[in-house]
Amino acid sequence: MLESALNKLAERILSLDEASLASLWGKYKNRMEHFEPSKDWEKAVIIFFIINAVRAKNHIFNEQILRQS
């Protein structure tokens, strides 16, 4: 059940546009840097790392495509 939920979450994240995510990077970086013990802060940290994960995945993907060319 947990793995299924994570797979569905990954599918949803993969459907997001990197440019749109990148435009939110600063907002969530700033929010994360201003700690407060709240669910909103926790969600901001998760969102920040999701954005970074998509950026890293795309960077690795593009490097691999270039290597194969």
pLDDT of residue 58: 93
d(CA 16, CA 14): 5
Contacts of 13 (CB under 8 A, 6+ apart): 50, 53, 54
Is it the case that residue 24 has pLDDT exceeding 90?
Answer: yes
pTM: 0.85
Reported as type and span, the H/E element at residue 63 is: helix 39-68
Q: What is the mean pLDDT of residues 40-51?
A: 97
Which one, of 49, 58, 45, lies nearest residue 18 by Cα?
58
Contacts of 5 (CB under 8 A, 6+ apart): none
Both tokens of residue 62? Answer: 């593009």
